[in-house]
Amino acid sequence: MPKVHDRGGWPNEDPIDHSEHEMEEWERLVDALNGVLGEKGLKNTDQLRRAIESLDLKTYESLAYYEKWTAAMEILLVEQGVMTTAEIDAKMAALKEGQA
Amino acid sequence: MAENGHENGHGHGDNAEYYSLKAEAIQALLIEKGVCTLDDILTMADRIDSRSPEDGAKVLAHAWVDPEYKQRLLADAESALLELGYDLPETAPKLTVLENTDDVHNMAVCTLCSCYPRAILGRPPAWYKGLAYRSKVVVDPRGVLQEFGTELDAAVQVRVIDSSADFRYLILPKRPAGTEGMSEEDLAKLITQESMIGVAQALSPDSVTAS
């Protein structure tokens, strides 16, 4: 059984969905963060993919594209000691507070 | 999968709210820790937005009208792009241009994820990232071509090229018949995003003169 990401030849009867996805502002942010981390040498495409591939099947299939990228970015940044999960969670709580 | 509407990356709902907040948190922490500045992020966002299929089409139309340029483009895409002012970032994966001919039709996929020649074409279309295309194209390329309305002669060899983190492919579509007198600018309008991925041919010249 191939891993979750390795889709070539997986049984799939779904028609190809030709509709385009309008980028949301936060998705542009994820794209940009990813590019900046690449330039700073904090991640390369192989690492990002490896992190995405480490997601379990349910998560892999339930998350949208940039949601997976965000999950992967967190894995890589925590792994490299740039920030901790606790710091991210605290910042998320603070941002949420600020929004309320 | 498809039934939850997420397959093509439509990020709405609870997940989107959670992950957008996470992305904002990561951004704030990166800036606080001095890893990057807000300006770095905004500059990168603009750079990514500035690329579009029109850039690829310009380059490939030039290859149609200048056979020597075409040879250089096929031999060393990065140097040939630089000739036209497209300086790919150092971190961009190696780019190769593959030519579609009367005998061979190439089409690109990334079965593993969404690897795509972003440095010249911008962001990939949603279907390219979706599970249906990635799963099916390597098993039934002609069936997939039909889904895009593309019919090829049975004698044409179809090659499916799998992209990777290190190698990206740009397809040079076959120049359509009846385009001999057209300007490079008009030719570029025939070269669609789908034709540069290889799921379609270039448009016929009628489509441009009609518009």
Residue B190's H or E segment, with its range, is helix B184-190
Cα-based distances in Å from B114 to A92, B124, B125: 28, 7, 10
Amino acid occupying residue B207: S
Tokens 């349910």 locate to A58
Q: Do B132 and B201 sit in the same domain of this protein?
A: yes
Q: Do B191 and B103 sit in the same domain of this protein?
A: yes
Average pLDDT on A65-83 reads 92
ipTM: 0.89
Q: Do B139 and B94 sit in the same domain of this protein?
A: yes
Q: How far is A21 from chain B (nearest CA, A)?
A: 6
Q: How far is B182 from chain A (nearest CA, A)?
A: 30
Q: Are B4 and A66 in contact (CB under 8 A)?
A: no
Residues of B with CB below 8 A from A58's CB?
Answer: none
Q: Mutate which of A87, A91, A96, A97 to test chain B, going by most B C-beta atoms within 10 A?
A: A91
Cα-based distances in Å from B89 to A38, A90, B14, B94: 11, 35, 35, 11
Whether B5 maps to a domain, the answer reads: no
Q: Write down the pLDDT at residue A31.
A: 94
Cα-based distances in Å from B196 to A80, B82, B84, B105, B138: 37, 19, 18, 11, 18
- Residue A38 Cα to chain centre, angstroms: 14
Interface contact B36-A32, CB threshold 8 A = no
User: What is the distance between the alpha carbons of residues B73 and B78, in angstroms, rounded to a whole number?
Assistant: 8
pLDDT per position as a tens digit, B115-142:
899 999 999 999 999 889 999 999 999 9
Q: Which chain A residue shows the shortest CA-CA distance from B37?
A: A36
Task: Please compute Rg for chain A using Cα positions.
Answer: 16
Residues of B with CB below 8 A from A77's CB?
Answer: 26
Q: Are B68 and B76 in contact (CB under 8 A)?
A: no
Q: Mutate which of B1, B17, B30 to test chain A, going by most A C-beta atoms within 10 A?
A: B30
Q: Do B40 and B98 sit in the same domain of this protein?
A: no
Q: Do B127 and B148 sit in the same domain of this protein?
A: yes
Q: Do B21 and B113 sit in the same domain of this protein?
A: no
What percent of chain B stands above pLDDT 70? 92
Residues of A with CB below 8 A from B24's CB?
Answer: 26, 29, 92, 95
Residues of B with CB below 8 A from A49's CB?
Answer: 112-113, 165
Domain count for chain B: 2
Q: Do B138 and B195 sit in the same domain of this protein?
A: yes
Q: Mutate which of A21, A50, A58 to test chain B, going by most B C-beta atoms within 10 A?
A: A21
Q: Do B103 and B136 sit in the same domain of this protein?
A: yes
Q: What residue numbers bound the domain in which B27 lies?
A: 10-48
Q: How far is A5 from chain B (nearest CA, A)?
A: 5
pLDDT band at B36 (very low <50, low <70, confident <90, very high): very high
Interface contact A33-B30, CB threshold 8 A = yes
pLDDT band at B13 (very low <50, low <70, confident <90, very high): low
Annotated active-site positions of B, please? 110, 113-115
pLDDT per position as a tens digit, A27-68:
999 999 999 998 888 887 778 888 888 888 888 888 988 999
The listed range with the strongest mean pLDDT (A17-26, B3-12, B68-77) is B68-77
Cα-based distances in Å from A14 to B14, B41, B80, B144, B211: 25, 37, 39, 11, 34
A69, A70, A72, A76 alpha-carbon torsion, rounded to 10°: 130
Residues of B with CB below 8 A from A32's CB?
Answer: 41-42, 44-45, 48
User: What is the distance between the alpha carbons of residues B167 and B95, in angstroms, rounded to a whole number?
Assistant: 6
Closest CA to B166 of B106, B105, B113, B87: B113
